């Protein structure tokens, strides 16, 4: 028995249990993978100011402040040109490049230091009784079936989770005819800023994790597998698309293909079950919003649960989904727009290609257009 049963130890689940603990609310996090697995899983890497503020102000930002890379802009490359979008000048804000698995490590360390309960290798198999006062999470751990009784359940179990199943909600969805091949490589970043490259052969992105480690992405066909992408081909393609003379090959630490998807579940709650992060919504990675949305959701959820435990008022809990969805839809629109702007359409409409180039030129010539990109990228406050 606990107050809040949390499914999933990603950024959403771990941050929620940390925020609840700070308000004296007990939780148990059920995670189907091992601690080692979640701490090594390579994911996103861009934090908006609101996310860094949340980590820092709740005592889990010390290493991020030290090791995170502060960026004040990005580079756009297309048609042999390079232009910088100066976020700081246009919006007064910047971003921090800090790997999601580092956020995970910092949160797990803090939760365990605070005596928090994270049950690794415990897979939730279903959620029951969400219309009553004591919902239950059925789970399997070390081959044994059991269930955890709680007062609330937070489904923070990512895009393939179980919490969403059975929720009476509508899904709004879009798939894309391409995926991203992501590479983590032991080579110093070739540029001090992220490079978003639009190329006729497809999109490419140069990012980083540290002064020694680069994070690189290539648009590939939706049905491509890694067999089609031997290491030499990856580097050749990155060289052509990024057109970055300083790019050096290095040992590939990790390489995987991730599909591009947009999905929103509405509402994000039912009875005593609340979804947060990828469990409720997915964005294509082009806008770098996934981790930020996950953290923003649980900040709202923690406030609502705190209000309930203080005064037994359900008002904030009832508003949870509406409050989150305003930010979610802003991020969905921005992510779909960035994706459409920067990816080559495999169906190959030359008219669209010309429109994209024209819009990119507009962005780099007009502060109004550049500000639209910049203020969404750094995190637009909808409320
Ligand atoms: N039982 C227990 N744990 C589960 C189950 C289950 N049935 N299903 C999934 N999980 C775990 C996963 O192993 C994972 O650790 O839930 C966690 C979900 O974490 P994330 O996928 O990281 O989702 P979230 O916390 O919402 O963070 C969103 O992750 O994928 C990126 O781009 C995305 O940056 C965004 C962030
Ligand atoms: C990353 O560094 O992993 C990254 C950066 C920007 C994106 C997506 C991913 O848009």
Give the whole-number percent of the chain exceeding pLDDT 90. 97
> In a 10 Å sphere around its CB, with 0-12 CB exposed, 13-18 middle and 19+ buried, how is residue 131 labelled?
exposed
Q: Quick check: 316 and 308 in contact, CB under 8 A?
A: yes
Q: How far, in Å, CA of 342 to CA of 318, rounded? A: 38
Note if the bond before 157 is cis, omega within 30 degrees. no
Q: Give me the torsion for CA of 215, 219, 224, 230, rounded to 10°.
A: -50
What is the pLDDT at residue 287?
96
Distance from the first to the final alpha carbon of the chain: 35
- Mutational test site, ligand 2, from 45, 51, 101, max ligand atoms within 8 Å of CB: 45
Ligand 2 site, residue 45, Cβ cutoff 6 A = yes
What is the pLDDT at residue 349?
87
Q: Mean pLDDT throughout 267-277?
A: 98
- Which atom of ligand 1 lies nearest, measured to the CA of 159? 21
- Mutational test site, ligand 2, from 41, 42, 46, max ligand atoms within 8 Å of CB: 46
| Nearest alpha carbon, ligand 1 atom 21 | 158
| Nearest alpha carbon, ligand 1 atom 8 | 161
Which residue in 317, 319, 299 sits closest to 379, CA to CA? 299
What values do phi and psi take at 251, rounded to 5?
A: -60, 130
Q: How far is CA 308 from the centre of its chain?
A: 28
Q: Mean pLDDT throughout 7-14?
A: 98
| Nearest alpha carbon, ligand 1 atom 17 | 8
Ligand 1 site, residue 281, Cβ cutoff 6 A = no
| Nearest alpha carbon, ligand 1 atom 11 | 8
pLDDT, tens digit, for every residue of 67-89?
999 999 999 999 999 999 999 99
Q: Give me the torsion for CA of 152, 157, 158, 160, rounded to 10°.
A: -120
Q: Ligand 1 centroid to 341 CA: how many Å?
A: 28
What is the pLDDT at residue 346?
84
Q: Ligand 1 centroid to 363 CA: how many Å?
A: 34
Q: Ligand 2 centroid to 289 CA: how many Å?
A: 9
pLDDT, tens digit, for every residue of 220-262?
999 999 999 999 999 999 999 999 999 999 999 999 999 999 9
Q: Ligand 1 centroid to 277 CA: how many Å?
A: 8
Give the pLDDT band of residue 347 (cuts 50, 70, 90).
confident
Q: Mean pLDDT throughout 175-198?
A: 97
Q: Mean pLDDT throughout 176-194?
A: 97
Query: Above 80 in pLDDT, residue 383?
Result: no
Ligand 1 site, residue 158, Cβ cutoff 6 A = yes
What is the pLDDT at residue 360?
98
Ligand 1 site, residue 123, Cβ cutoff 6 A = yes
Give the pLDDT band of residue 348 (cuts 50, 70, 90).
confident
What values do phi and psi take at 206, rounded to 5?
A: -105, 120
- Which atom of ligand 1 lies nearest, measured to the CA of 276? 26
Q: Mean pLDDT throughout 108-127?
A: 98
Q: Give the mean pLDDT of the chain.
A: 97
Q: Ligand 1 centroid to 270 CA: how many Å?
A: 20
Ligand 1 site, residue 61, Cβ cutoff 6 A = no
> In a 10 Å sphere around its CB, with 0-12 CB exposed, 13-18 middle and 19+ buried, how is residue 68 labelled?
buried
Ligand 1 site, residue 297, Cβ cutoff 6 A = no
Q: How far, in Å, CA of 128 to CA of 137, rounded? A: 6
What is the pLDDT at residue 237?
98
Ligand 2 site, residue 46, Cβ cutoff 6 A = yes
Whether the model pTM is above 0.75: yes
What is the pLDDT at residue 196?
98
Q: In the 8-state DSSP scheme, what is residue 326?
A: H
Q: Mean pLDDT throughout 132-151?
A: 97
Query: Above 80 in pLDDT, residue 166?
Result: no
Q: Ligand 2 centroid to 205 CA: how many Å?
A: 8
Q: Ligand 2 centroid to 286 CA: how many Å?
A: 7
- Mutational test site, ligand 2, from 194, 195, 219, max ligand atoms within 8 Å of CB: 194
Q: Ligand 2 centroid to 129 CA: how many Å?
A: 39
Taking residue 249's Cβ as centre, other Cβ atoms within 10 Å add up to 15
Q: How far, in Å, CA of 323 to CA of 319, rounded? A: 6
Q: Ligand 1 centroid to 32 CA: how many Å?
A: 10
| Nearest alpha carbon, ligand 2 atom 1 | 45
């Amino acid at each position: 028995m606990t107050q809040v049963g949390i499914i999933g130890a990603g950024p959403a689940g771990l941050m929620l249990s940390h925020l609840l603990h700070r308000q004296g609310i007990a939780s148990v996090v059920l995670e189907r993978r091992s601690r080692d697995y979640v701490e090594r899983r390579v994911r996103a890497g861009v934090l908006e100011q609101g996310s860094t503020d949340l980590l820092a102000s709740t005592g889990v930002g010390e290493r991020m402040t030290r090791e995170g890379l502060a960026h004040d802009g990005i580079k756009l490359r297309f048609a042999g040109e390079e232009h910088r979008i100066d976020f700081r000048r246009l919006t007064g804000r910047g971003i921090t490049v800090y790997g999601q698995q580092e956020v995970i490590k910092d949160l797990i360390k803090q939760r365990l230091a605070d005596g928090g309960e994270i049950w690794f290798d415990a897979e939730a198999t279903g959620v029951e009784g969400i219309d009553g006062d004591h919902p239950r999470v059925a789970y399997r751990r070390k081959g044994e079936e059991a269930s955890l009784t709680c007062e609330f359940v937070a489904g923070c179990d990512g895009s393939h989770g179980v919490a969403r199943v059975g929720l009476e909600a509508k899904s709004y969805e879009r798939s894309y005819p391409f995926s991203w091949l992501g590479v983590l490589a032991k080579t110093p970043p070739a540029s001090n800023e992220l490079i978003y490259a639009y190329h006729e052969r497809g999109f490419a992105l140069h990012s980083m994790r540290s002064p020694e480690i680069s994070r690189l992405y290539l648009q590939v066909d939706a049905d491509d597998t890694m067999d089609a992408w031997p290491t030499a081909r990856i580097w050749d393609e990155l060289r052509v698309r990024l057109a970055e003379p300083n790019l050096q090959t290095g040992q590939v630490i990790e390489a995987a293909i991730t599909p591009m998807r947009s999905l929103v579940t509405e509402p994000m709650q039912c009875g005593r079950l609340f979804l947060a992060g990828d469990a409720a919504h997915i964005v294509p990675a082009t806008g770098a919003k996934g981790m930020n949305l996950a953290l923003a959701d649980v900040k709202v959820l923690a406030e609502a649960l705190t209000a309930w435990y203080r005064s037994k008022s359900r008002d904030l809990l009832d508003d949870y989904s509406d409050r989150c969805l305003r930010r979610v839809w802003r991020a969905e629109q921005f992510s779909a727009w960035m994706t459409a702007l920067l990816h080559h359409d495999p169906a190959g409409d030359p008219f669209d290609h010309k429109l994209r180039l024209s819009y990119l030129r507009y962005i780099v010539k007009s502060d109004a257009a550049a500000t639209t990109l910049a203020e969404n990228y750094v995190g637009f406050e909808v409320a």
